[in-house]
Structure 1
């Protein structure tokens, strides 16, 4: 009797393993087909003007991504913050930009987004003089954890979304880290389709990273935010901000880097401003 019970449970688990992806896919397709709420459209116009620069077909796809994201990823207020639809839609719109072109899952490792009213304080260890490890308190605008959380400051989300072409977007930055963290710790090399793609990515991004460091050391002006020179993981996240907000400028300044990001994200952001309907 116990043997048949175990066999029945194993069969049920196998059927669930087979059916679950199909049911999830059907549910997501149903969510994408639902009419996009008019109130949400107004939020996008007011809070995320970058959306208006997208071609019409990509705007439609982004809205479908937003609907699935908000159905699956809870956004939880912290520090006494009450989360509103304005906050949820603003975050989802920017978080889904990196999913716009490529066929990727909806950040499968992400369990929740934690939202603070403003910059949040964290304690981080650092190596002091003499090799002594000490705690350093820092105020952050955002943080991505491989353990399934993205933490954001609403004030910084607002600022990042308000200007569509300044190359600064904390949501895109942290969700680029999420893509990088699919395999574990972020290192600036998110998974690629093949070894050849991975090798090319490493070569191109490492060269651009070292070029940014050299330009800053020489006191030269740079398009890319200096924070990108911190390490390869931050370079990828910073480059992603500029890719989505300043595609044409990035293509001019760093054509090889732009081409690599365009291959990875499967969108040509340099063409957005010229093709979008105002």
Structure 2
């Protein structure tokens, strides 16, 4: 009896959130027009994505910095891109935090780091996005609008991939695997494919001569920044999966299949999921 009441209450809350945070038709279409990679989704998936975007808006709190005016255009554009990776996984992966902070452009991050000798340093650098474990996602609106698909760059997908990676603790490139969602994919299979691909990519980056670095950085589908840490490799490859899926599958077929199985989406339409995962 209690479970039925809980289910009824959850349905009531969901319906209320969908009404309260309904997205205007004109705004929804304008948002889709600005995100060409979403055209790979069929009508049913787009309808589910629209509902999930409304639920995301109901659950999260948006704020801005440096006098940026918070508009529906900003919140919907960010929310829909945040929801794309979890379209077939569920918003539960974004539980435990509420804040999304939007800056007009790049912002400064200050961190305390300890070097190999144990000396602590205060460092700062410019960033277009940042995801905090248990805390907010911080985004540059200028960068969040770089969505024409000319390359695989997508700061929103990148930072929310970090959030998924952080569900079980510090981001390490090994996101949580759930039996009901990901079977028969397991941690050993993930490590076998992902860790090998990461090591190969790092070796590739390390082997680029300095005189060719600018060209490599410009032409590489995967941003060389991905070699900094397995968590960055996961986030950057997640960008490529959704923004440049055909190119990603052509260049990294095993890695594409792994991420497609993880996200339960096959944006390049390769049949990678099979009948059981479709």
1:66 alignment partner, one of 53, 65, 72: 53
Please list the CA deviations of residues 146-192 of structure 1 after superposition, one character each: whole Å capped at 9, or x if unmatched.
Answer: 12310111111111x2x135110000000001111111211111111
Instruction: Note the residue ranges of structure 2 that are not aligned, 5 or more in a row.
Output: 210-215, 271-278
- Quote the residue 2:149 is aligned against: 164
**How far apart are the structure 1 equivalents of 2:91 and 2:76?**
20
Q: CA deviation at 1:256?
A: 1.1
Equivalent-residue separation in structure 2 for 1:63 and 1:91 (angstroms): 12
Hey, which bits of structure 1, 4+ residues long, moved more than 6 A?
Answer: none
Which residue number in structure 1 is paired with residue 121 of structure 2? 134
Rounded Cα–Cα distance in structure 2 between residues aligned with 1:19 and 1:75:
31
The answer on whether the counterparts of 1:116 and 1:152 sit within 8 Å (CA) in structure 2 is: yes
State how 1:266-277 maps to structure 2 within 5 Å. 266-271=264-269
Distance change (3 Å), C-alpha of 1:24 and 1:173: same
Contact 1:48 1:93 in 2 (8 A): no
| Partner Cα distance (1:235, 1:23) in 2 | 40
Does the CA-based 8 Å contact 1:43-1:89 persist in structure 2? no
Matched residue, 1:244: 242
Task: Confirm whether residue 226 of structure 1 aligns to residue 224 of structure 2.
Answer: yes
**Number of positions where the alignment pairs a residue of Structure 1 with one of Structure 2:** 255
Q: Distance in 2 between matches of 1:261 and 1:29?
A: 32
Tell me, yes or no, if structure 1 residue 215 matches structure 2 residue 213: no
Q: Provide the aligned C-alpha RMSD in A.
A: 2.5
1:259 is displaced (CA, Å) by 0.8
Q: 1:183: which partner in 2?
A: 168
The residue that corresponds to 2:14 in the other structure is 28
Which segment drifts farther, 189-198 or 132-141?
189-198
Closer, same or farther in 2 for the Cα pair 1:107/1:25, shift >3 Å? farther
Counterpart of 1:122?
Answer: 109
Give the direction of change, closer, same or farther, for the CA distance of 1:86–1:36 in structure 2 (3 Å limit). Answer: closer
Q: Quote the Cα distance in structure 1 between the aligned partners of 2:25 and 2:112.
A: 46
2:36 is matched with 49
Deviation digits for residues 57-81 of structure 1, max 9, x if unmatched? 2211111111111111111112222
